[in-house]
Structure 1
Amino acid sequence: FYYSRYDEPKAGLKLTGLNEFQKLYFHRLGTPQGEDTLVYERKDHKDWGFSGHVTEDGRYLLIFVNKGTDPKNAVFYKDLQEPDAKVIELLPEFDADYGYVANDGPVFFFTTDLKAPRGKVVSIDLRKSERDQWQTVIPEAAEPLKSVSLVNERFLCSYLKDARTSVKVYDHQGAAPAKFREELQLPGIGTAGGFSGERKDKETFFMFTSYTVPGSVFRVDLDSLKTDLFREPKVDFEPGDYETKQVFFQSKDGTRVPMFITHRRGLKLDGSNPTVLYGYGGFNISLTPAFSASNLAWLERGGIYAVPNLRGGGEYGIEWHQGGIKARKQNVFDDFIAAAEYLIKEGYTKPARLGISGGSNGGLLVGACMTQRPDLFGAALPAVGVLDMLRFHKFTIGWAWTSDYGSSDLAEEFSTLYAYSPLHRLREGTRYPATMITTGDHDDRVVPAHSFKFAARLQ
């Protein structure tokens, strides 16, 4: 199998040394790692990261190239049937997101958001790969396209419709446009994932979950497209005792933002309910309904669990993501604050009973909001948060996040970062909400110094 790695850090720099110059290796099972073959590296690009994927027919090695966390990527390939084949740069421009679906020999099918911000499927023939030769196989839809698989000669396309999964099925017709067949019937409103398999398979499987439904596995008959329950976990609770609502509220600039609210049925909207507001809002990541045993314990004790789909995420495509990055990052915090104000206005809770929670980029979200609006929350739980926005890029993999955050090394971005950096927003004499900061003492991703400095300053 193929895998990517960085060189081991120098002594004493495991938690601080920069992760640069990633390499792609091949490992043969049963042999020592020291004998692994270096397949690809780029000494001229310290910020390039690689992932290798072999096509189902075993003919080609695809090398996906990323620059940090920017969703735009490049795609190279190597013909594995040619002993001395060179790596060919098929899509080298880093101008869009490209994802491999399948191939018919030299004809490849990719998902892409090139000139299609919500995504589409195109075919590219390696023998004539010029862009004017590409064919659109599945056009852009009203909802963002999140994944595609080709099983039993049918494209299974997963979309997000207001942060909920919908799956459309298309008949594969070679490089020509696929023919829409029908929308797959899912068990309910929630998140579905999976739908993988080989081209010849007559069935596929997916997992379905929601805030009140534990993850269950379903089987799909790919001839009839009928689904049936295959496996479900045993959890000692009654789903019917709880409900999830999806509401929409207006952010500071008038943007319409969705939010899921889950609680016991019969909840009284008297402003007294303990509430956890959880968020992320970054890196094109979508927050979709998912079951959690720890959240269930909170719900059983009368708590409310609310999750807004903030800008910076991927719930509505490229525009939604770009609406919450760099100079527009404040939109994410405004969305979260507006979600809190909605919960209070509608009688779900009050500031003293409202806690906010998030991890990593979500920890930044919590830190920014508790320093901008300390009056709005009764408790704050920033977990492994990115809290020093002026120095985050100087440690381990932090440089990779500049595609979302920007960099304090650039004068035009320094002022934006400084304006909301949680560490630098703390002010003497301000009454902040009760705060519990958590981190990992060996976290080599978001180094614990962020949390240590924030805690020291907050005290």
Structure 2
Amino acid sequence: LYSLDLARWVETGAIGPVETLFEPAYRVSIAGIARTRDRLFVSLMDNVRGKVVVCERMDGNWSLKPVALPENGNVGISHAEQFGSSVSFSFTDFLTPSSIIWSDDNGETLATVKSQPARFDASPLISEQFEARSKDGTMIPYFVVRRRDQKGPVPTLLYGYGGFEVPLLPGYAGVRGKLWLEKGNAYVQACIRGGGEFGPAWHQAALKGNRQNGFDDFAAVAQDVVKRGIATASSLGIQGGSNGGLLTGVSLTQHPELFGAVIIEVPLLDMLRYAELPPGASWMAEYGDPSKPEDAKWLSAYSPYQHVDAAAAYPPVLLTTSTADDRVHPGHARKMAARLQEAGHARTLFFEETEGGHGGRGDRRPQAAQTAMKYVFLQRALTAKA
């Protein structure tokens, strides 16, 4: 973000001098800017956490200071009064519903003026951020939401995605809070490579033949959660859908010892034939082309369907799909469930919705029933082992 004297430019035609007001760093990027009459506000994404800095120019120099917004959340600048001093921010995090925070004095004093209703009691809970060291030494950020007074390991749900440059940001989830966190359980969200948390390079680090990096990142987060005493391996459940279903499917077959329960939703699982199932061929830029021997080599190294082991001690597994899914063919989940059951893994459950698509049915009642089913599955699988 650069600064120059516009009046001088208009009068003289000379652009300079140009000052650097803010320079992005490896894990810090500019998300947006807005100005009031006397201040410039810059919203940042700083290690997957939203922040805002206010910039003021005095005596020919810029000063920057942070706006005192809550940490570990998702922040945006909602408005800035260009001929006044009012500014407002949007904010949400794992414990705070989407809210508008208002200031009439350029961010000096802040007040929440509007908020969506709270869906669970967040008062005993805390949101924290940690990092885990992946297999190749890369530090992987992740968030933990749990009771502030947690004394020992509790049933914990670890969620991940890691694909298509999609970032996992802090966000409020009332159902998760009501059905999981209020029961004293913990939630973990992993920002693994393959996603978009740190731009294209973070995505490309787990693209095609580098996909194993993302799987290693997820395993490293799981191990770090156990190391910190948040969960034990047997009280740690994982969940992911679509590309995240591939992630949890790989986690099951590569590291069954790290988890006490696995939810695999609308997944890709047979990576040697995914391009034959519509619309799989459209994702070859992400995963590779299994018809090419060099691509098939890395795909076959991790493809979960080909790595089901009858001798492995797998934790309980719940696979879900939809008959009407036109994004990821239901054959992936059907085949995986059948192979697990045929291999003698009796704790494999399979659920197929007959209506709706990749995102499920639009009717809230079956949505609620399916969500409850997943949390009951996790509670039963993990509670006795915490």
Q: Indicate how the Cα distance of structure 1 residues 407 and 222 shifts in structure 2: closer, same or farther if over 3 A, else same.
A: farther
The yes-or-no answer on 1:214 pairing with 2:97 is: yes
- Partners in 2 of 1:324 and 1:196 — Cα distance? 37
Q: Quote the residue 1:354 is aligned against.
A: 236
Paired letter, 1:263: R
Among 350, 369, 384, which residue is 2:266 paired with? 384
- The residue number in structure 2 matching 1:294 is 175
Matched, 1:282 2:163: yes
Alpha-carbon distance in structure 2 between the residues aligned to 1:211 and 1:385 = 25
User: How far apart, CA to CA, are the structure 1 residues paired with 2:248 and 2:254?
Assistant: 10
- Write the distance in 1 (CA, Å) between the matches of 2:292 and 2:80: 46
Where 2:98 maps in the other structure, the secondary structure is strand
Alignment of 1:304-383 (within 5 A): 304-383=186-265
Distance 1:362 1:141 in 2: 29
Shift of 1:447: 2.2
Give the deviation of 1:364 after TM superposition. 0.8
Cα distance, 1:457–1:121 mapped onto 2, change above 3 Å: farther
The reply on whether 1:161 has 2:46 as its aligned counterpart is: yes
Deviation sequence 1:134-169 (CA, Å, 0-9, x none): x99976411443632556688754322121111245
Question: Which of residues 121, 134, 147 in structure 1 aligns to 2:31?
Answer: 147
Amino acid paired to 2:162: G
Deviations 1:238-292 (A, max 9, x none): 43311122222211122222221111121122x4x11111111122222222121
**Deviations for 1:95-128, whole angstroms, at most 9, x for unmatched residues?**
xxxxxxxxxxxxxxxxxxxxxxxxx799xxxxxx
Q: Is the 8 A contact 1:276 1:305 kept in 2?
A: yes
Aligned-residue offset at 1:425:
1.5
Counterpart of 2:49 in structure 1: which amino acid? R
- In 2 relative to 1, CA 121–369 (structure 1 residues): closer, same or farther, beyond 3 Å? farther
Quick check: 1:151–1:200 contact (8 Å CA) kept in 2? no
Q: In the superposition, relative to structure 1, how do residues 396 and 268 fare at CA in structure 2: closer, same or farther (>3 Å)?
A: same
Shift of 1:295: 2.0
Per the normalisation by structure 2, the TM-score is 0.73
Q: Mean Cα displacement is larger for which, 337-346 or 161-170? A: 161-170
Shift of the alpha carbon at 1:383? 1.0
Which of the two has greater helix per residue? 2
Contact 2:45 2:51 in 1 (8 A): yes
Identity between Structure 1 and Structure 2 (%): 37
Q: Deviations over 1:41-71 (max 9, x none)?
A: xxxxxxxxxxxxxxxxxxxxxxxxxxxxxxx
What is the CA–CA distance in structure 2 between the aligned matches of 1:199 and 1:147, rounded to whole Å?
Answer: 19
Cα distance in structure 2, aligned partners of 1:266 and 1:224: 33
Residue 290 of structure 2 aligns to a residue whose secondary structure is coil
Distance 1:196 1:317 in 2: 26
2:328 to 446, 451, 457: 446
Structure 1: unaligned runs, 5 residues or longer? 1-119, 123-134, 172-178
The alpha-carbon distance between structure 1 residues 331 and 196, as it changes in their structure 2 partners (threshold 3 A), is farther
Task: Return the alpha-carbon distance in structure 2 between the equivalents of residues 451 and 430 of structure 1.
Answer: 19
Structure 2 unaligned segments of length 5 or more: list them.
4-17, 57-61, 342-386
CA RMSD of aligned residues (A): 3.2
- 1:393 corresponds in structure 2 to 275
Q: CA deviation at 1:186?
A: 1.9
Cα distance in 2 between the residues matched to 1:376 and 1:314: 26
Q: Which residue does 2:142 correspond to in 1?
A: 259
C-alpha contact (below 8 Å) 1:314/1:320 kept by paired residues:
yes
Residue pair 2:49, 2:71 contacting (<8 A) in 1 also: no
Question: Are residues 138 and 443 of structure 1, via their aligned partners in 2, closer, same or farther at CA, if it must alter by over 3 Å?
Answer: farther
